[in-house]
Amino acid sequence: MDDQQYRSSSGIRRALLTAAIACAVLAAAALMVSWTTTGSARLAGGIGSAVFGAVAVFLAGLWYLRNRAAALRR
């Protein structure tokens, strides 16, 4: 892998990690909403927490696989 390919894949890995962290923060915020409210807001917070949590785990998994593959290629 040449230097240019490594830099471009580094940007992708950084973007994946940033997106995973943002989704985890949104999942935590939605969980707090589901704990502190009642009615439809509680339901929406619970569903949002589950969805953002799943997306965060998926993106973190992609980041891990790309990071590991880049480390093995070096």
**How far are the Cα atoms of 10, 12, 20, 61, 74 from residue 23, in angstroms, in the given order?**
20, 16, 5, 13, 30
What pLDDT, on a 0 to 100 scale, did the predictor assign at position 73? 80
User: Is 2's pLDDT higher than 70?
Assistant: no
What pLDDT, on a 0 to 100 scale, did the predictor assign at position 48? 96
CB distance 71 to 18 below 8 Å = no
What pLDDT, on a 0 to 100 scale, did the predictor assign at position 4? 59
The residue that leads in pLDDT, 3 or 47, is 47
pLDDT in tens, 11-59: 899 999 999 999 999 999 999 999 999 999 999 999 999 999 999 999 9
